[in-house]
Structure 1
Amino acid sequence: MPATPVIAVFDVGKTNKKLFLFDEQYQIVFERSAKFTETVDEDGDACENLESLRLSVFDSLREVFNKKEFEVKAINFSTYGASFVYINEGGQPVAPLYNYLKAFPAELQEKFYADYGGEDEVSRRTASPVLGNLNSGMQVYRIKQQKPELFAQTKWALHLPQYMSYILSGHACSDITSIGCHTNLWDFEANNYHPWVQQEGIAEKLAPVEACDTVVRAFFPGNNLKVGIGLHDSSAALIPYLLHFQEPFVLISTGTWCISLNPFNASPLTVEELHQDCLCYLTYKGDPVKAARVFAGYEHELQTKRIAEHFNVSPSFFRSMPFDPEVYAAIEGKESLQQAADATGKVLKESPFAQRDLSLYANEEEAYHQLIADLVHLQYASTSLVLQGSTVKRIFVDGGFSKNNIYMNLLAAAFPGMEVYAASMAQATAMGAALVLHKHWNPKPIPSNIIELEYYHLTPSNALS
């Protein structure tokens, strides 16, 4: 049998590093997953083991190349954002891959914003809330200010997706999806780098910006592999939806963070929205995406453990639990979804469930319905921020909560004027990174069945008496 043509996609998360092979119908025909033990930087703070990551790429490809049933035509990358790799003239890393959760020096942050117009003005123009090292441009600024020797050694500061591409191609570049994700680097008004990037000499350390569908040759001798330049994972996850749906939509991408992404809202962020954790991303075509996020997945994990311990049940008790309107109606002290809907624009920083007394609930089913109701209230307020001023009538939910029957029913109740769908797609982030290179490796049309949708319709009166 002839070998199956495939594209290989490395999908690098903070915890799991995965390799997927997609065939020409974008079905996953092979996958490999790895986890690495973290190392520490010079301050003793935990960070990614960059050498393990680099070696894993070559080990994975060696394994795939030895599988005669596959013919790898192209390779691309999607990784978490807010992370730079600093390489010297010879292409070698000269610093650790600093963790974006590392504390940013308070005095240096104060100096930066004082020099460049204040927090509100910089945040507004760069669509980046003040997030310390999560504003990845601030990482380069810190090195320039505090580690001038390291800054001088640095030929290029590459965002992680572009570094992954670089180790296979030797081609240094920047991409707009990484630059445009809460970095403090991109001026959304001028559609260029913010003036501070030039004034601090940072621009000369940033490789030329290239289109997200760019391919370069791998440096392996005797091959015709086409290597993509990589994408920021949040923007990659949007690509399958942007390619398949012309009618405006909001995507709620659920995981540790639940991020509401509206590619059809071009209104500039206000200072108030920035204070409510709104930000902007850029699509693979360079268009702004208004986004808002809540830490709902993380809270769900913490609170389900608390419920399980209180009621002495398995922590996985909720996975097959269906939505039950009668159970929901029995919740003591509940707040109706309509009351949450009336609080448009008021983003709760955290749901009230952590303060709720679990002894008020008859069983884990009641308590879990209350938890999900609280998280949906939070999600409603967050998503409403990106809906304002747009004509969106459809909401797609992907990730973990899309499989949660209670969450999906209550979300539909919270948005009675919307079409609410649970979206099912194999590995949306990796899929997006594969699709963006479609024209370079796949002669067949993009299949129309990549995304499966399940419609939810539940008015508040259906959910509550």
Structure 2
Amino acid sequence: MTHIAVIDVGKTNAKLVLVDASTLSEIAVVTRPNTVRPGPPWPHFDLEGHWEFFLHHLSGFHVSWGVDAISVTTHGAAAVLLDQTGQLAAPMLDYEHKGPNDLAAAYDALRPDFAMTGSPRLANGLNLGAQLHWMFAVDPDLRDRTAHVLTYPQYWGYLLTGKMTCDVTSLGCHTDLWMPESGRFSPLVDRLGLAGKVAIPRHPDDVLGHLLPDVAAQTGLCNDTPVSVGIHDSNASLYPYLVGRQAPFAVVSTGTWVVCMAVGGASVTPDPTRDVLVNVNALGDPVPSARFMGGREYDLVRQGASEPKAQDRAAVLAGRAMILPSVVPESGPYQGRTMRWTSAPESACQNDVALAFYLALMTRTCFELTGARGPMIVEGPLARNTAYLAMLAAISPDGVETATSATGTSAGAALLAVGSGAEQVTQVVQVPSDADTLRAYAQQWATRV
């Protein structure tokens, strides 16, 4: 197997990535915005537009390089409802929609305890169970129209192969629908009237099936092109290390969300009030995790149009310009707090340095909340942010590494199709020369927080 096409749908962008099987490096990447449509009946994603985009570029990838297999990874807190004919029973709700908050008390009376699901109570539709509960309430016929519930990666697999399933990582992503310790559905599935409707889960590296004839005809791919079951995106970032590295370590998946996942760390009691949860990895095992909406916070605060210079970093450290949490107060380890500056930065570049420090300090907080030990491996966009990595390296005694691939989620998803033999290459982040000053800044931030 040489080339794997990866459908990679994040909260912000939908991508199709062609990955080299021997190196897990990206050969080609095409992107379209994951725009939320306003409705009716509720804010939802452009699934049809994504599908046309994927088919078009699968054809192009195959003409230019050849496609030997397809894998899928998507953001969590998402499922697609299908009717008896296999068509959409309703548009796929955007999990940031505030509608489910209107029925929070009724939903709280239904959902299982955190001790059972490892799933904290989250705002809006971030608990998939809350989405389903709200949609069934505002569209009373929807429950009866719904014949099948597929977690999001497997919706794309269904369009490709006609086969229906869920995967354990997506069910284990704060849905309230899964029990990580016992590896089975929670009582909420029955309470929502979905017994027998949620597709049976499989492991992400299973082969879901092969291309439908019409998909093969539209793309030019071979009919026997295998399609993997697929995986939740943060777990895609974790997967290469899970199968290729000795514990303990932690993987930090960065994108719209920054998610810290601890493997082989100290035993901790997760604190759901601080957005600490139990994810489920690709092997079906529980993984203590903590997260915050770091990519969204970056977009909200960033001002610079150019790379900050050494003097910008020095000025921020000297002036102690700090962001105190939280930029997005609905999630993360400091929920309910309002962002504030200790002192205003003097330029856009200084603003961006202080922002990078804030994101690093929030990341380190998540690392500690999960009981993580060993090196911290950073995947995704923040793995290319110099100031972020400098702060992390200064305050992380066990070291920081970065993935050399540009899109860690795509590499991990491709590995599902490759099996053994390929490794995710990392680079060690050197401790910076101003580490003592960075540590002093971090200590003051912690005291102020």
Calculate the TM-score normalised by the size of structure 1. Answer: 0.81
Counterpart amino acid of residue 461 in structure 1: D
Equivalent residue number for residue 310 of structure 1: none
SS at match of 1:134: coil
Q: 1:352, 1:108 → 2: CA distance? A: 25
Which has the higher mean CA deviation after the structures are superposed, 125-134 or 27-36? 27-36
Match of 1:198, SS?
helix
1:387-425 deviations in Å (ceiling 9; x for gaps): 2xx5x221112223222222222222222x322223322
Q: Does 1:451 find its partner at 2:449?
A: no
- Residue of structure 2 in register with 1:341 after alignment: none
Instruction: Give 1:217's match in structure 2, choosing from 207, 210, 213.
Output: 210
Alpha-carbon distance in structure 1 between the residues aligned to 2:439 and 2:170: 43
Q: Give the Cα–Cα distance (whole angstroms) in 2 for the partners of residues 100 and 274 of structure 1.
A: 19
- Alpha carbons 1:84, 1:160 under 8 Å: kept: yes
Once the two structures are overlaid, the 10-residue window that deviates more, 322-331 or 451-460, is 322-331
Q: Partner of 1:234 in structure 2?
A: 234
Give the deviation of 1:254 after TM superposition: 2.4
Which of residues 114, 120, 126 in structure 1 aligns to 2:117? 126
Given that residues 352 and 374 in structure 1 are in contact (C-alpha distance below 8 angstroms), is that contact kept between their aligned partners in structure 2? no
After superposition, the Cα gap between the structure-2 partners of 1:289 and 1:400, relative to the gap in structure 1 and judged at 3 Å, is same
Secondary structure of 2:85's counterpart equals coil
CA drift of 1:166 comes to 0.2
User: Aligned runs of 1:56-455 on 2, under 5 Å?
Assistant: 56-65=53-62, 67=63, 69-106=64-101, 108-116=103-111, 122-131=113-122, 132-215=124-207, 216-220=209-213, 223-265=223-265, 267=267, 269-270=269-270, 273-305=271-303, 315-317=304-306, 319-322=307-310, 326-332=314-320, 347-349=333-335, 354-358=340-344, 363=347, 367-387=351-371, 392-415=373-396, 417-439=397-419, 446-448=421-423, 450-455=424-429
State the TM-score, normalized to the length of structure 2.
0.84
Cα offset for 1:333? Answer: 7.3
Q: How big is each residue's C-alpha offset from its partner over 1:153-195, in whole Å with a ceiling of 9 and x where there is no partner? A: 2110111210100001110111101100010111234332112
Tell me the CA shift for residue 267 of structure 1.
Answer: 4.5
Of structures 1 and 2, the larger Rg is shown by: 1
The separation in 2 between residues aligned to 1:278 and 1:366, in whole angstroms, is 31
Q: Deviations over 1:409-452 (max 9, x none)?
A: 2222222x32222332231111111101214xxxxx6244x323
> Aligned partners of 1:5 and 1:207: how far apart in 2?
31
Structure 1 regions of 5+ residues with no counterpart?
A: 306-314, 336-345, 440-444
Deviation at 1:367, TM superposition (A): 4.8
Given residue 199 of structure 2, which amino acid in structure 1 is its aligned partner?
A: A
Q: Deviations over 1:110-131 (max 9, x none)?
A: 1232245xxxx62332122212
Tell me, in whole angstroms, the C-alpha distance in 1 between the residues paired with 2:106 and 2:258: 32
Identity %: 29
Code of the aligned partner of 2:4:
I
Post-superposition offset of 1:269: 4.5
Amino acid at match of 1:109: A
CA distance in 2, matches of 1:158, 1:23: 29
Q: 1:230 to 1:152 in 2, by over 3 A?
A: same
Instruction: Give the secondary-structure state (helix, strand or coil) at the position aligned to 1:110.
Output: helix
SS of the aligned residue for 1:422 comes to strand
CA RMSD of aligned residues (A): 2.9
Corresponding residue for residue 10 of structure 1: 7
Counterpart residue number, 2:326: none
Q: Is the contact between residue 100 and residue 125 of structure 2 (CA under 8 Å) also seen in structure 1?
A: no
State the AA in 2 paired with 1:393. Answer: G
> Would the aligned equivalents of 1:39 and 1:47 in 2 still touch at CA under 8 Å?
yes
Partner SS state of residue 181, structure 1: coil
CA shift in 2, pair 1:140/1:6, >3 Å: same
Contact 2:250-2:375 within 8 A present in 1 as well: yes
**1:266, 1:289 within 8 Å by CA — same for their partners in 2?**
no
Q: Following superposition of structure 1 onto structure 2, how do residues 36-51 of structure 1 map, counting pairs within 5 Å?
A: 38-43=36-41, 45-51=42-48
Aligned in 2, Cα 1:76/1:128: closer, same or farther, shift over 3 Å? same
**Deviation (angstroms), 1:145:** 4.1
Q: Greater shift after overlay, 162-171 or 122-131?
A: 122-131
The residue number in structure 1 matching 2:446 is: none
The alpha carbon displacement at 1:276 in A equals: 0.7
Letter in 2 for 1:169: T
CA distance in 2 between counterparts of 1:370 and 1:186 reads: 39
